[in-house]
Structure 1
């Protein structure tokens, strides 16, 4: 048998002064020398240094919980020792059997589980003391008390043992009886982060960024997550301390390169963290600027003096600025403006180049996007064709399968005709030829981005069209949920016990479900599933900041949520302390005569009082905050005195909520 074993001639436990022989069984068939050691409460004594003797005598002088250890090393070896063996040994025998049994609720536990111990005895009352063996050391976890039950959280893996010592109430012995029970603690399944992603599509300055972490772990375990934001210069900021929330959000004030570090750990883990992951991301000042359309509301050629509206459709940016430059026989420059349209009244005929420049207000350069149009002004005399408006029967965005009706109002010309083009993401889907009908219908069968272009021309025009206009429409498989308003009672003060009803006003109500997450003082206390109810009510049971997160999504949505809103309500334990006043039990004040001052107030809860006395112009604290609402004072000198009483509710974090001053003079 390939091991070094030790045993004793006497079984544990034994009384003091017993002759205990420690034997070594060398089954390794090697020449070894042995070192014998005795450990008690973390202190080790050497019984005999390295010797070739395979047995020694130990006479213990004190009761206690001992560990016998033998180290062995090869003769001539270079290591401090090659083999080691240990065993537990208890010194101290019970005179009578007081403990009939020790019962633990389970002998196989996972790290972080609670071990529940019950001790049965032959009589009552008795005192009990509890010890846990951790590695090579016994640790007392509860000193003598009358409790015959104990609950303890296991914090280390491996084999463990609990020892219960018991004695009579009037006993002067260290213990009168003892008994132990063994258990096994198993390690937890490793926490592994499986996914770390950003749920926000556009990562922009001053907008909310939302991140989600996923991990693999035992389903019955509680996992905590901690998030740090790390900027490009190495500055670190904790966004969320350890919490069960897997989704974290914050608003980034400055663009740049960032990393988000997530630390994950089991709530009972002894490690600082069990796994970690880093997500790199870049926050932009704004989305890149693109000029989607730059059109004139009337096709060329047009006459001098006609007012032509130039329209710009631009995506991206934050605060867009537009500049319109007319190059030709009579040039114009609008300079940068916030208007996405410009009215140009031509002064001279000729060929013109119309230029649109766009940039964000924060951009220092000349422009970020540019687009051109060629245009002709002539001197022919006729009333120009102009689209006055395009009317749709639906709001943007539109649900797939819903019929879109569009009507065009135009003026000018002699006999107007109308044509329509339908495009999906740049691809032409349908071309409705010119007719006298100024309306069209279209039913989108697929989601995506559509353009509805209306073209108008005079019957006698030889051009493709005299004027045109485009409407952009987004079509969805479902309409994403939008929370328009959050309605809740408008009160100056919410108190414990008040019912707080929060009503969510959403678009497309029947197809929207909502999840509510209630946090009290940044601790999540309730989370619902996605439910159709648009009203959430709760009755606060104690004071603090109640934050309700409201997540809304369409029933067909595959996202975590479509829209999110928050409501924060501060709940007070009681009404604020008001109308504080001080009364006294005397009408006349004389030297060396005690006077009792009593404080009266309105509001507050579990109110505490603090008293100051001003004597000879100096204020002195005479009674620190306590529940005592009165103070007795003896003035010893003639003169003017003041009593200041401060009061506050016990849980209040402010120095005081209200105060009162009482002045008097002694005779």
Structure 2
């Protein structure tokens, strides 16, 4: 970058042997030392080494295009120089410039982006060579060729300068013309892990675990995630190498304490990682045992010689064992059994306490969960009253003013009576007192959750009821919309320009309205009003993940939606790469003779190639992914070899899309 201002007593061009004074204006207002150099045709001469003089005399002896370069250094600086400037100066009658100008796609890039450079010239044919200044040194990017374009990928940040040298095809000079252009590469913005969590509610061995990482990063960047599992003994295992998947899932087959370490980095970052986080988790052999309910089929009290069935509703565990302990006028212990129900025949009247103990077969203690209930046995003995079945003609949701019919079947007793109580919000709506009829009907006239209690007792019973059951009935103004299926095209690979059609299958279709929300890479691009159309069609113009959120509601609904579903479709930039073939420039292969292998593929976009060689039964990578579709190999020993070529489009996230293997023998 020209940080110093170079001036002359005579303007360019001048004749040779002319005395030219070069002076430097120190705009930095610092105590500097200056060094003056002159370059022509790739050769440099020092006019004056570092000194405090801000001017020097130059007498050119030959015609040509010269580069005047001035380096400046602070007196106490450890660097070779702190500032540098260059200028062009013509001596003699030089032919018209070959390079008219240099154009680049941008002067400000981010790491990972490409710089596209084009050299515009005043005549053809010409040869071009490209240099880049990195860390105060010049490196050849591309040697002389007829190509007037250059593509360069930014891998580090800072200020850069590209030098283009140009010459005629038959020229014997190092160059006949040159131009430079400057640009800047900005550093990647910081990536931070915002959240690292497990999406599974219970971590049980043998089940799939799902962990999710959320990061804060610059929009549009490709972020890579790596997950490493750490065992209690310090052993570690990589369960996902760097990938764009921020969600990792795997099955853990052993219980114990684990840690999961996540590394994140920008795809083009030169660091091993940009941020990391760790999460601790315990893997159990089974879910915690919880007794949800412990009930009996008959209400207390009951009469002697009555069979009472105790039922346990338990969740958790792997192989459950149940133990029923009866304490009272006489004791009874089932011991640990596999059945979740137990039949107890009452023999002696009195007050009893029944305990339920539950544990997993692998548990060594007495129990992992327990629950108790009280039960009273009366003196008299008769067949107990039981509700065997209840028939309700409206099993699902019920609409306002829609009739509900109920029939009860019960057994036991001598002469049964039936009562029905319908309530809402703990307020009794309708009650049918005890009667011989086991049938009832109700006509709810408002929305809400109704509770229907059915009571049965013997005609001679003094209890409020001998047996009863409760049912909840949800009464609605309308049936909420429900999406049964989303029909999508049977294609499994979509590219830009394909027509994507979604069709909604729902109940009560004529009363259902649908809202469609289209998102591309999680950015909303289109949202419809609620419409009756059950088909949604779009034609993708860009690659990415297209998500269609589908909201459905009944015409009468005042909610934003009754049902919500979604579908995601990956749209690819082009047809998947295929038909990869390796060809060779020779028919016979000999030791110490070079062999060039060339790879070709169909479809894909900006195709990259990676090469492996199998020698002495070992595969070794010999050329990482690049656009270079050929590899030159020199065998030094005879024997059988194999070459493997992996191919993928530049934007493909996987390891490869297609490959080919070629076997050859070296004589």
TM-score by length of 2: 0.60
1:34 is aligned to 2:28:
no
How far apart are 1:116 and its partner, in Å? 1.7
Aligned counterpart, 1:416: 417
CA gap of 1:233–1:290, structure 2 versus 1, over 3 A, is same
Deviations 1:235-271 (A, max 9, x none): 5444433333343333344455555444444333344
Partner of 1:183: 183
Query: Which residue is equivalent to 1:327?
Result: 327
Q: Deviations over 1:330-378 (max 9, x none)?
A: 5433333332212223345444322211123333321111112222334
Q: Show the counterpart of 1:308.
A: 308
Counterpart of 2:165 in structure 1 is 165
Pairwise mapping of residues 104-503 of structure 1 onto structure 2 (< 5 A)?
104-230=104-230, 234-255=234-255, 258-279=258-279, 281-390=281-390, 408-413=408-413, 414-418=415-419, 435-436=434-435, 437=438, 455-468=455-468
The reply on whether 1:71 has 2:73 as its aligned counterpart is yes
Cα 1:189–1:150 shift into 2, 3 Å: same
| 2:585 equivalent in structure 1 | none
Distance in 1 separating the partners of 2:240 and 2:57:
60
CA distance in 1, matches of 2:663, 2:466: 77
- Inter-CA distance 151–84: structure 2 relative to 1 (3 Å threshold): closer
Conservation of the 8 A alpha-carbon contact between 1:130 and 1:143 = yes
**DSSP-derived class of the 1:362 partner:** coil
Aligned partners of 2:151 and 2:159: how far apart in 1?
A: 18
Q: Give distance in 2, aligned partners of 1:167 and 1:150.
A: 17
- Conserved? CA contact 2:503–2:535, under 8 Å: no
Q: Check conservation: 2:302, 2:377, Cα contact below 8 A.
A: yes
Q: CA deviation at 1:277?
A: 4.5
| Structure 1 pair 187–33 and aligned structure 2 pair: CA distance change class (3 A) | closer
Q: Which of 73, 85, 88 pairs up with 1:87?
A: 85
Matched position secondary structure for 1:124: coil
Per-residue Cα deviation, 1:367-413 (whole angstroms, up to 9, x for no partner): 111112222334523221112235566779x7999999875432112
Give 1:111 shift: 3.3
Q: 1:340 to 1:283 in 2, by over 3 A?
A: same
Find the aligned partners of 2:124 and 2:327 in 1 and give their Cα distance: 107
Equivalences for residues 550-629 of structure 1 within 5 A: none
Aligned to 2:75, what secondary structure does the other structure show?
Answer: strand
Whether the aligned pair in 1 keeps the contact of 2:199 and 2:212 (CA below 8 Å) is yes
Counterparts of 1:309 and 1:11, CA distance in 2: 113
- Where 1:156 maps in the other structure, the secondary structure is coil
Q: Deviations over 1:475-527 (max 9, x none)?
A: 9998998999x9x99xxxxxxxxxxxxx99999898999999xxxxxxxxxxx
| Cα displacement (A) at 1:314 | 2.3
Q: Are residues 129 and 13 of structure 1, via their aligned partners in 2, closer, same or farther at CA, if it must alter by over 3 Å?
A: farther
Residues 117, 53 of structure 1: alpha-carbon distance in 2 compared, 3 angstrom cutoff: closer
In the alignment, which residue of structure 2 is the partner of 1:590? none
**Contact 2:642/2:662 (<8 A) preserved:** no
1:185 offset after TM fit, Å?
3.3
RMSD (CA atoms): 6.1
Distance (Å, rounded) in 2 between the aligned partners of 1:206 and 1:507: 36
- Secondary structure at the aligned position of 1:132 is classed as strand
Cα distance in 2 for residues equivalent to 1:101 and 1:220: 32
- 2:102 is matched with which residue? 102
Distance in 2 of aligned mates of 1:15 and 1:135: 36
The answer (yes or no) to whether the contact 2:132–2:162 under 8 Å persists in 1 is yes
User: In 2, Cα distance between the equivalents of 1:312 and 1:261?
Assistant: 42
**For 2:442 and 2:148, how far apart are their aligned partners in 1?**
83
> Partners of 2:18 and 2:90 in 1: how far apart?
10
Deviation at 1:33, TM superposition (A): 7.0
Please say if residues 484 and 505 of structure 2, whose CA atoms lie closer than 8 Å, have aligned partners that are also in contact: yes
- What is the distance in 1 between the residues matched to 2:549 and 2:181? 54
Query: Kindly tell me: are residues 411 and 101 of structure 1, through their superposed partners in 2, closer, same or farther at Cα, counting changes over 3 Å?
Result: same
Distance 1:304 1:91, change over 3 A: farther
Q: 1:328 to 1:6 in 2, by over 3 A?
A: same
Cα distance in 1 between the residues matched to 2:71 and 2:340: 87
Cα gap change, 1:455 to 1:388, in 2 (>3 Å):
same
Matched position secondary structure for 2:74 = strand
5+ residue gaps in structure 1? 490-502, 517-528, 535-547, 564-570, 575-609, 611-620, 628-649, 657-667
Shift of the 474–380 alpha-carbon distance from structure 1 to 2, 3 Å rule, reads same
SS in 2 for 1:367: coil
Per-residue deviation, 1:296: 1.2
Whole-angstrom distance in 2 between the partners of 1:441 and 1:95:
106
Q: 1:228 Cα deviation (Å)?
A: 3.8
Residue 283 to residue 192, structure 1, CA distance change in 2 (3 Å): same
Whole-angstrom distance in 1 between the partners of 2:472 and 2:298: 19
Deviates more, 1:289-298 or 1:452-461: 452-461
Quick one: distance in 2 between partners of 1:237 and 1:514?
43
Q: Decide whether the 8 Å contact of 1:480 with 1:554 is kept in 2.
A: no
TM-aligned CA distance change 1:336 to 1:422, over 3 Å: farther
Q: In 1, distance between residues paired with 2:240 and 2:266? A: 16
Contact 1:12–1:89 (CA<8 Å) still a contact in 2?
A: no
CA contact (8 A) 1:197 1:213 kept: yes
Please state how far the C-alpha of 1:310 moved relative to its aligned partner. 0.9
In 1, the alpha carbon distance for the partners of 2:391 and 2:546 equals 38
**Whole-Å separation in 2 of the counterparts to 1:318 and 1:504:** 42
In structure 1, how many angstroms separate the alpha carbons of the residues matched to 2:21 and 2:475? 89
Deviation at 1:624, TM superposition (A): 5.6
Q: 2-side partners of 1:399 and 1:254: how far apart?
A: 48
How far is the alpha carbon of 1:115 from its aligned partner? 1.9
Q: Is the 8 A contact 1:6 1:85 kept in 2?
A: no
1:650-665 superposed matches below 5 A: 651=659
Q: Please give the secondary structure, in 2, of the residue aligned with 1:465.
A: coil
